[in-house]
Amino acid sequence: MNNEKITLGNATRDIDAVTAIVHSYFDGLHHGDITKLNDIFHPDTWLKAPGSRRSLTQWLNDVENRETPAQLNKPFDFKILALDVVQDQAMVKIYCPLFDFHYIDFLGLLKEKGQWRIVTKMYTDTQEQQ
């Protein structure tokens, strides 16, 4: 078996679209841009962490009312750790350092009516509990 890259249908285009959304997510978080964030999330998204559930509206309000990493001169060190696209669904694992936290997020995306949007976000801080 050789190492050829096989592209089926719109796979490359979909991977590029999902990657672009994730980079908008990074940029929106870093700069506190709730308009950008709102545009990439489905309105019925819930954000879930162990012991915490927030609606998209609650989370965007929290983002809007806090200082941003950019304002605090925090580095832009977000990273995509894994990305998997299967037809009209995608799962992205990311490293998301925010303030003094080191989150690992799992973003679930669906492609509906030709548009990719985040439909679920699960996250946890990976720092050791003290």
Mapped onto helix, strand or coil, the DSSP state of residue 81 is strand
Each residue's pLDDT tens digit, 103-118: 999 999 999 999 999 9
Instruction: Please name the residue that has the structure tokens 């750790």.
Output: 81
Per-domain boundaries in the chain: 11-125
Each residue's pLDDT tens digit, 116-126: 999 999 999 99
Mapped onto helix, strand or coil, the DSSP state of residue 37 is helix
At 90, the pLDDT band (50, 70, 90 cuts) reads: very high
Angle at 75 between CA 46 and CA 13, to 5 degrees: 55
The mean predicted confidence, pLDDT, of the chain is 91
Query: What percent of the chain stands above pLDDT 70?
Result: 90
At 3, the pLDDT band (50, 70, 90 cuts) reads: very low
Strand order in the sheet with 89-98: 52-55, 41-49, 115-125, 101-112, 89-98, 79-86
Each residue's pLDDT tens digit, 14-56: 999 999 999 999 999 999 999 999 999 999 999 999 999 999 9
Integer Cα distance of 45 and 56 in angstroms: 6
Angle at 86 between CA 76 and CA 2, to 5 degrees: 90
| Nearest Cα to Cα of residue 45 among 121, 127, 128 | 121
Return the CATH number of the domain spanning residue range 11-125: 3.10.450.50
Integer Cα distance of 92 and 37 in angstroms: 16
CA gyration radius, the chain: 16
| Nearest Cα to Cα of residue 22 among 112, 88, 84 | 84
Q: What is the pLDDT of residue 29?
A: 96
